Structure 1
Amino acid sequence: MTIASSTLPRLALASSVPQDADVLVIGMTSAGGTAILSGTSDVLEKALAGRYGQPLVQVAEGVGASAKPGTTAVLPGDGTTLVVTGLGDADVTPEAVRRAAANGVRRAAELAGDTPLRVAVSLDTAGPDVIKGAAEGALLASYRFAKASAEPKPAPVRALTLVAPAGSASNQAVGLAQVVADAVCAARDWVNAPANELYPESFSELARQAAKDARIEVEVLDEKALARDGYGGILGVGRGSQRPPRLVRYSYSPRGAKFHLALVGKGITFDSGGLDLKTPEGMYTMKSDMAGAAAVLAATRAIAQLKLRVKVTAYACMAENMPSGSAFHPSDVLTMFGGKTVENANTDAEGRLVLADGIARAAQDSPELIVDVATLTGACIVALGERTSGLMASDDQTADHVLEAAEAAGESFWQLPLPDGITDNLKSDVADLRSSGTTRYGGALVAAAFLREFVPADTAWAHLDIAGPSWSDKVYDYVAKGGTGAAVRTLVALAQSLQN
Structure 2
Amino acid sequence: MLTPALPTLSLAKSVREDADIVVVGFTRDGESPVIPGLPESLVKAYTKKVGQNPAALAEDLGAKPKLGSTTLLPSVDGTKLLAVGLGEGAASLSDLRSAAATGVRAARSAGATKVAVALAAHDPETVRAVAEGAVLGSYTYAGLVSTEPSTAPVEQITVVADAKQADGKQSALTDQVTQAAIIAGAQLTAREWVNAPANLLYPETFAEEALAHARRAKVTTEVLGPEELAAQGYGGITAVGGGSAHLPRLTRLEYAPRNAKAHLVLVGKGITFDAGGLDLKTADGMYTMKSDMAGAAAVIAATVAIAELELDIHVTAYAAMAENLPSDTAYRPSDVLTMYGGTTVENANTDAEGRLVMADALARANADQADLVVDVATLTGACMVALGMNAFGIFSDSEEVTGRVQDATEAAGERGWPLPIPAETAEELESKVADLKSSGGRYGGASTAAAFLRRFVAADTAWAHLDIAGPSFTDKARGENSPGGTGVGVRTLIELARGMQA
Q: Where on the TM-score scale, by shorter chain, does this alignment land: which range?
A: over 0.9
Question: Which whole-Å CA distance do the structure 2 matches of 1:250 and 1:336 have between them?
Answer: 21
Whether contact under 8 Å (1:308, 1:496) holds in the other structure is yes
- How many Å apart are 1:12 and its aligned residue? 1.1
Whether contact under 8 Å (2:305, 2:494) holds in the other structure is yes
Q: 2:42 maps to which residue?
A: 44
Q: Does the alignment pair 1:84 with 2:83?
A: yes
- SS of corresponding position for 1:421: helix
Structure 1 segment 378-397 matched on structure 2, within 5 A:
378-397=381-400
**Bigger Cα displacement from structure 2, 37-46 vs 448-457:** 37-46
Counterpart among 439, 455, 459 of residue 461 in structure 2: 459
Counterpart among 126, 138, 157 of residue 160 in structure 1: 157
Question: Which whole-Å CA distance do the structure 2 matches of 1:345 and 1:464 have between them?
Answer: 22
Question: Which whole-Å CA distance do the structure 2 matches of 1:305 and 1:234 have between them?
Answer: 30
- How many Å apart are 1:90 and its aligned residue? 4.7
Q: 2:501 maps to which residue?
A: 499
- SS of corresponding position for 2:368: coil
- Residues 141-196 of structure 1 show CA distances to partners (whole Å, capped at 9, x for unaligned) of 00121210212437431211110125121011111110011000000000000000
Whether contact under 8 Å (1:5, 1:145) holds in the other structure is no
- SS of corresponding position for 2:188: helix
Q: 1:290 maps to which residue?
A: 293
Q: 1:145 maps to which residue?
A: 141
Structure 1 segment 264-283 matched on structure 2, within 5 A:
264-283=267-286
Q: Does the alignment pair 1:326 with 2:329?
A: yes
- How many Å apart are 1:329 and its aligned residue? 0.3
- SS of corresponding position for 2:35: strand
- How many Å apart are 1:39 and its aligned residue? 2.8
* Letter of the structure 1 residue corresponding to residue 141 of structure 2: F
TM-score normalised to structure 1 length:
0.97
Question: Which whole-Å CA distance do the structure 2 matches of 1:425 and 1:232 have between them?
Answer: 22
* Letter of the structure 2 residue corresponding to residue 37 of structure 1: I
* Letter of the structure 2 residue corresponding to residue 309 of structure 1: D
- Residues 447-492 of structure 1 show CA distances to partners (whole Å, capped at 9, x for unaligned) of 0000010111110000000000000011111111010001000000
Q: 1:128 maps to which residue?
A: 124
Question: Which whole-Å CA distance do the structure 2 matches of 1:100 and 1:482 have between them?
Answer: 19
- Residues 370-391 of structure 1 show CA distances to partners (whole Å, capped at 9, x for unaligned) of 0000000000000000001001
**Bigger Cα displacement from structure 2, 178-187 vs 22-31:** 22-31
Identity of aligned residues (%): 54
- SS of corresponding position for 2:11: strand
Q: 1:53 maps to which residue?
A: 51
Q: 1:11 maps to which residue?
A: 9
Whether contact under 8 Å (1:144, 1:155) holds in the other structure is no
- How many Å apart are 1:53 and its aligned residue? 1.5
Counterpart among 362, 365, 390 of residue 359 in structure 1: 362
- How many Å apart are 1:85 and its aligned residue? 0.7
Q: 2:442 maps to which residue?
A: 440
* Letter of the structure 1 residue corresponding to residue 116 of structure 2: A
- Residues 86-132 of structure 1 show CA distances to partners (whole Å, capped at 9, x for unaligned) of 112452221111111111111111111xxx52110001102111111
Q: 1:405 maps to which residue?
A: 408
Whether contact under 8 Å (2:104, 2:115) holds in the other structure is yes
Structure 1 segment 35-434 matched on structure 2, within 5 A:
35-78=33-76, 79-112=78-111, 117-153=113-149, 155-166=152-163, 167-434=170-437
- Residues 13-34 of structure 1 show CA distances to partners (whole Å, capped at 9, x for unaligned) of 1000111111011111222333
Question: Which whole-Å CA distance do the structure 1 matches of 2:392 and 2:58 have between them?
Answer: 37
- SS of corresponding position for 2:43: helix
Question: Which whole-Å CA distance do the structure 2 matches of 1:199 and 1:107 have between them?
Answer: 34
* Letter of the structure 1 residue corresponding to residue 161 of structure 2: A
- Residues 229-268 of structure 1 show CA distances to partners (whole Å, capped at 9, x for unaligned) of 1100000100111111000000100011000000000000
Question: Which whole-Å CA distance do the structure 2 matches of 1:475 and 1:213 have between them?
Answer: 30
Question: Which whole-Å CA distance do the structure 1 matches of 2:141 and 2:305 have between them?
Answer: 20
- SS of corresponding position for 2:87: strand
Question: Which whole-Å CA distance do the structure 1 matches of 2:255 and 2:72 have between them?
Answer: 46
**Bigger Cα displacement from structure 2, 59-68 vs 341-350:** 59-68
- SS of corresponding position for 1:125: coil
Whether contact under 8 Å (1:218, 1:248) holds in the other structure is yes
Whether contact under 8 Å (2:260, 2:314) holds in the other structure is yes
* Structure 2 unmatched runs, 5+: 164-169
TM-score normalised to structure 2 length:
0.97
Whether contact under 8 Å (2:33, 2:56) holds in the other structure is no
* Letter of the structure 1 residue corresponding to residue 162 of structure 2: P
- Residues 54-87 of structure 1 show CA distances to partners (whole Å, capped at 9, x for unaligned) of 2222111000112221111010224111100111
* Letter of the structure 2 residue corresponding to residue 246 of structure 1: R
**Bigger Cα displacement from structure 2, 118-127 vs 70-79:** 70-79
- SS of corresponding position for 1:376: coil
**Bigger Cα displacement from structure 2, 42-51 vs 255-264:** 42-51
Question: Which whole-Å CA distance do the structure 1 matches of 2:40 and 2:217 have between them?
Answer: 45
Question: Which whole-Å CA distance do the structure 2 matches of 1:236 and 1:90 have between them?
Answer: 54
Question: Which whole-Å CA distance do the structure 1 matches of 2:152 and 2:419 have between them?
Answer: 40
Question: Which whole-Å CA distance do the structure 1 matches of 2:196 and 2:41 have between them?
Answer: 47
Whether contact under 8 Å (2:124, 2:172) holds in the other structure is yes
- SS of corresponding position for 2:423: coil
- SS of corresponding position for 2:155: strand
How many matched pairs?
494
* Letter of the structure 2 residue corresponding to residue 433 of structure 1: L
Question: Which whole-Å CA distance do the structure 2 matches of 1:472 and 1:90 have between them?
Answer: 28
Whether contact under 8 Å (1:31, 1:89) holds in the other structure is no
Whether contact under 8 Å (1:5, 1:146) holds in the other structure is no
Q: 1:484 maps to which residue?
A: 486
Question: Which whole-Å CA distance do the structure 1 matches of 2:212 and 2:82 have between them?
Answer: 39
Question: Which whole-Å CA distance do the structure 2 matches of 1:142 and 1:99 have between them?
Answer: 12
Whether contact under 8 Å (1:267, 1:293) holds in the other structure is yes
Whether contact under 8 Å (2:22, 2:79) holds in the other structure is yes
Whether contact under 8 Å (2:216, 2:304) holds in the other structure is no
Question: Which whole-Å CA distance do the structure 1 matches of 2:403 and 2:321 have between them?
Answer: 29
* Letter of the structure 2 residue corresponding to residue 83 of structure 1: L
* Letter of the structure 2 residue corresponding to residue 135 of structure 1: A
Question: Which whole-Å CA distance do the structure 2 matches of 1:241 and 1:17 have between them?
Answer: 54
* Letter of the structure 2 residue corresponding to residue 448 of structure 1: A
